[in-house]
Structure 1
Amino acid sequence: MSRTSILSHFLNLSNTSSPHLSCRIQSRFLKRAELFGDYASRGRCFCTLSVPDSNVSDDSATSVRKRIVSGVQPTGSIHLGNYLGAIKNWVSLQDKYDTLFFIVDLHAITLPYDTRELSKATKDTAAIYLACGIDTSKASVFVQSHVRAHVELLWLLSSATPIGWLNRMIQFKEKSRKAGDENVGVALLTYPVLMASDILLYQSDLVPVGEDQKQHLELTRELADRVNHLYGGRKWKKLGGRGGSLFKVPEPLIPPAGARVMSLTDGLSKMSKSAPSDQSRINLLDSKDVIANKIKRCKTDSFPGLEFDNPDRPECNNLLSVYQLVTGKTKEEVAQECQNMNWGTFKVVLTDALVAHLNPIQVRYEEIISDTGYLDGVLAEGAEKAANIADTTLKNVYQAMGFLQR
C-alpha cells in the first residue's frame, strides 16, 4: 500500500501519529460547526463523544459502543510500521469499541498494480489481521470490494464534492507529480472521496488518524457537514425520510505516542511499503535470518551509548522505540537498560526481541492461510455484517437525494 490507513488506509490506515490536529484545521472545523448549527456543541478533542442521534441509523441508535472503521491496502508486504502503528492498536480497540477492519483493495488500484497479485495479497492481508490478534467475535473483518455500497456512495458523494477540495490534497499533488499526468488516473484524484465513503457508510464515531491522513479526515468531516446541510433535516423529511443528519461527523482518534516507526535506512523517513529498498523495513513475515541481516545492516551513528529523543540521533531514537514497543517495556526501562550499550550489543538484543515477538504471528498466519475455507468464511461473514450497516446508510442517502426507491 502506497497510502496507508485508515487508513492504515486510515485507512492506511497509517503508521504515523500526531499529538493534535493543526490549529488551522481546528479553526476550520469550529467555523463549519458554527455554520451548521447541529454540530456547534462538538468538542475538538479526539475523545469527545458524538451526541447520540436517533436520526442517523437504526444501528447506531441501539449501539452502546462507539464505532471505529479502519483498514490497510493489500499492496506490498505488511511491515513493522503498519503493525505497530495501526494493527497492533486495533487489537486493543476491539475490546472498547464496535470495530470494523477491512482490506481496502479498491484503494489499491489508484496507481499501477499487479493484477495477478491483488487477490492473493488481499487474502494475505486478511490472514495477517487475524494472526495479529483481531478477534472475529469482537470485530468484523471483510474486503472493501465485497461491500458494493462503498462504490455507490463514492459516486453520490462525488456529486457533492467541490473539485477545489480535491485539488488541494497534498498526496494527490505529490504522487501525480512523480507519476506524470499521462500515468495518473481519475481514481487518484477521487481517492479521498472513496475514503470518506468508507468512513461515513458505517456512521463512524472515531477514525484512527496519522500525520499523512489529517487532511483526508478534514475533507471527510467537511463533506459530511455539506451533505447533511444539502440533503438532510427537513429536506429529507419532506421526501418521506426521518429527517435529521444523514451522516455522523467523525472525530479523530490519535494513535498512541511512540507508534511511529521510521525507516531502517533513514531515521527521518517513515517505514513504507513503497520505499525502493526492502532493507528499509522489517516485514511481518520476514524470517529470523532476514530480520537479523536487516538489523545488522541498518543505519546507526557514532555517538557513545544509546538514548531517546536526541534530535541529532533519529536512528537511535527509532530503534530504541521499536525495542520498547515489541517488548512492552516502558521508555524509562529501555533507556536505563540500553544507555551503556554499544550498537553491536544492542542490535543482537533488538533482533532477538523482534524474532520473539513476530514468531507467534508468523506461526498463526501459516495456520490461517493454509485453511482457505476458514478464511473465506470469515471474510463472507464480515462482509455480510458490514453490508447490513452500509446498506441502511446508502438507502437513506438515495432517498434524501431524491432517487426513485427500488
Structure 2
Amino acid sequence: MARSILSHFLILSNTSPRSISSLRPSGVHLRKCLSRTAIFHQNRLRIGENLRCFCSVSVSEPSTSETSSSSVKKRIVSGVQPTGSIHLGNYLGAIKNWIDLQNTYETLFFIVDLHAITLPYDTQQLSKSTRDTAALYLACGVDSSKASVFVQSHVRAHVELMWLLSSTTPIGWLNRMIQFKEKSRKAGDENVGVALLTYPVLMASDILLYQSDFVPVGEDQKQHLELTRELAERVNYLYGGRKWKKLGGRGGALFKVPEPLIPPTGARVMSLTDGLSKVMSKSAPSDQSRINLLDSKDAIANKIKRCKTDSFTSLEFDNPERPECNNLLSVYQLITGKTKQEVVEECKDMNWGTFKTVLTDALIDHLNPIQIRYAEIMSDTTYLDNILAEGATKASSIADVTLNNLYQAMGFLRR
C-alpha cells in the first residue's frame, strides 16, 4: 500500500465488504486453513508461502442471527499513512468502503503516522500530512459519530504492545517479509532502519490491540495479516489460558485471532503510467501515475489525457492484453456507481479520446464535493482536533484493557 493498515482492498461492484465469519471453506473453519505458530502447530503453511485460503474464499452476506441476535457489533480497524496526498487508489481501495462498514460494524479508522517514519521523511510535513489525512477521512464520508477517528501516535499503547510482541516474534518471521526485502533493496542499507524490519509487528499491534474481529485485506497485506494471526496464536499459547489465570487473570485467550475481510472479486487501481505491473502508489516517483483527491480540475484532465492506453479501437473489460483499458473502465465504474454491464454498453463503441473526456468529467464531478468539504474542515482546525482527541480517548479505553491484561499475563509487576 503505499503502505497502510490493510487498506488496499477494492470493490468493483455496488456492494460493500461483508462478514465472512459464517464461511466454512471445504467444511473447515477459515482459521484452520491458515498457518499456525510453528512451535505447536505442525505441517502448516509457513510465513511467506502462498496463502491460498485467502484467495479461495468469497464474501457472503452476514446471517440473520449474526446481525440481529446480539446488539454487540463486530469490530474492524483500518488506516492510511500520512505520507504524500491520498490518491484515488487509497480512496477506492479503502476509504470509500469504510462508509458502508461504519454502518454495520464497530469501526476504528486511524492515521498511521508511526508507520510513516520507517523510511526517510520530511519532519516538517508529517504533522501537516497527518491533519490533512484526517480531514480527508471526514470529507470522504467517515462519520465520527459512528467511527472512532484518531491518530496512531496519540494512543501510546500501540508502541507499548509492539515492544511486548517483539519479544515473542522470531526474527526469521520478519526476514521473510516480502515488503521489507523490496523496500530495503530500493532504499539501500544506509537508509534502512530497524523500523523497516519490525514495522509488521507494529501493524500486528494495531490490529490485536483492539481485539479486532475482521481486517480488510488486499493482495499486499495478506502476509502481514498472517503474521498478525501467528503472533496472536503464539502469545495466547505462551501466556494465556491457565498460565494467565494462575497470575490472577480471567484465563482464556489474550487476543482474538482476526479473520480477513475479503471484498467481492475485483482488481486494484493501477498506475496511470503502467496498468499491468504497478499499483497506484504515493511512493511512485511520477505524480502523473496517480490522481490525488485534492488535484485541481486541470491536473485531473491533464493526467487522464496523458495516461497510458493502447492501440485497440474499442473498449472492453477483462482482456489480459489490455490492462490499461480494464483499469480505466474499472475506475469509471467505481466513480459512477454503475454496474459493469452498464459501463460496457455505454463505452464499448467509444474511442480513447471520447472516453478520456467522459472519465475526466466523472472524476471531477465525484471529487469536487470531497474537495469542498475538505476545505471547510481545514478552515476549522479546532473542530478537527476535537474529533481526533475524542477518537483517541475512545480508542485508548479499549487499548488499555488489552495492554494491561498482557502485562499481567507476561508477569510484570502491577502498577
TM-score by length of 1: 0.89
- Superposed CA RMSD: 2.6
What residue in structure 1 maps to residue 369 of structure 2?
360
What residue in structure 2 maps to residue 150 of structure 1?
158
SS in 2 for 1:300: coil
Residues 107 and 147 in structure 2, CA contact (< 8 A), matched pair in contact too: yes
What does residue range 4-403 of structure 1 map to in structure 2 within 5 Å? Answer: 4-5=3-4, 7=5, 10=6, 13-15=7-9, 29=34, 35=40, 45=57, 64-258=72-266, 260-268=268-276, 269-403=278-412
1:220 aligned partner, one-letter code:
T
- Give the 3 Å change call, closer, same or farther, for CA 49–238 of structure 1 in structure 2: farther
The CA distance in 1 between the partners of 2:11 and 2:185, in whole Å, is: 26
1:283 aligned partner, one-letter code:
N
Q: How many equivalent residue pairs? A: 381
The C-alpha deviation readout for 1:272-330, integer Å capped at 9, x for no partner, is 10001000000000011110111111111110110000001000000000000000000
The CA distance in 2 between the partners of 1:360 and 1:17, in whole Å, is: 21
Displacement of 1:255 after TM fit? 2.8
The CA distance in 2 between the partners of 1:270 and 1:112, in whole Å, is: 22
Residues 324 and 330 in structure 1, CA contact (< 8 A), matched pair in contact too: yes
1:387 aligned partner, one-letter code:
S
- Give the 3 Å change call, closer, same or farther, for CA 35–28 of structure 1 in structure 2: farther
The CA distance in 1 between the partners of 2:208 and 2:309, in whole Å, is: 43
Displacement of 1:257 after TM fit? 3.2
Unaligned runs of 5+ in 1: 37-42, 51-61
The CA distance in 1 between the partners of 2:363 and 2:153, in whole Å, is: 34
Displacement of 1:210 after TM fit? 0.6
Residues 88 and 290 in structure 2, CA contact (< 8 A), matched pair in contact too: yes
The CA distance in 2 between the partners of 1:34 and 1:173, in whole Å, is: 25
Displacement of 1:179 after TM fit? 1.3
Displacement of 1:47 after TM fit? 6.0
Displacement of 1:46 after TM fit? 7.5
The CA distance in 2 between the partners of 1:240 and 1:393, in whole Å, is: 15
The CA distance in 2 between the partners of 1:155 and 1:119, in whole Å, is: 24
The CA distance in 1 between the partners of 2:114 and 2:246, in whole Å, is: 35
2:394 aligned partner, one-letter code:
K
Residues 263 and 281 in structure 1, CA contact (< 8 A), matched pair in contact too: yes
The CA distance in 1 between the partners of 2:385 and 2:217, in whole Å, is: 29
SS in 2 for 1:106: helix
SS in 2 for 1:263: coil
Displacement of 1:258 after TM fit? 2.9
Displacement of 1:124 after TM fit? 0.1
- Give the 3 Å change call, closer, same or farther, for CA 63–231 of structure 1 in structure 2: farther
The CA distance in 2 between the partners of 1:265 and 1:133, in whole Å, is: 29
- Give the 3 Å change call, closer, same or farther, for CA 251–392 of structure 1 in structure 2: same
SS in 2 for 1:273: coil
Residues 213 and 256 in structure 2, CA contact (< 8 A), matched pair in contact too: yes
SS in 2 for 1:207: strand
The C-alpha deviation readout for 1:254-276, integer Å capped at 9, x for no partner, is 13433510111110111010001
SS in 2 for 1:323: helix
The C-alpha deviation readout for 1:185-234, integer Å capped at 9, x for no partner, is 00000000000000000000000111111000000000000000000000
- Give the 3 Å change call, closer, same or farther, for CA 354–379 of structure 1 in structure 2: same
TM-score by length of 2: 0.87
Displacement of 1:180 after TM fit? 1.6
- Give the 3 Å change call, closer, same or farther, for CA 3–27 of structure 1 in structure 2: farther
SS in 1 for 2:120: coil
- Give the 3 Å change call, closer, same or farther, for CA 96–159 of structure 1 in structure 2: same
- Give the 3 Å change call, closer, same or farther, for CA 310–193 of structure 1 in structure 2: same
SS in 1 for 2:374: helix
The CA distance in 2 between the partners of 1:31 and 1:151, in whole Å, is: 25
Residues 119 and 192 in structure 2, CA contact (< 8 A), matched pair in contact too: yes
What residue in structure 1 maps to residue 67 of structure 2?
none
- Give the 3 Å change call, closer, same or farther, for CA 15–47 of structure 1 in structure 2: closer
Residues 85 and 259 in structure 1, CA contact (< 8 A), matched pair in contact too: no
The CA distance in 1 between the partners of 2:233 and 2:379, in whole Å, is: 45
The C-alpha deviation readout for 1:132-156, integer Å capped at 9, x for no partner, is 0000110000000000000000000
Residues 79 and 282 in structure 1, CA contact (< 8 A), matched pair in contact too: yes
Residues 2 and 281 in structure 2, CA contact (< 8 A), matched pair in contact too: no
SS in 2 for 1:270: coil
Displacement of 1:98 after TM fit? 0.3
The CA distance in 1 between the partners of 2:31 and 2:245, in whole Å, is: 31
Residues 154 and 197 in structure 1, CA contact (< 8 A), matched pair in contact too: yes
The CA distance in 1 between the partners of 2:411 and 2:58, in whole Å, is: 34
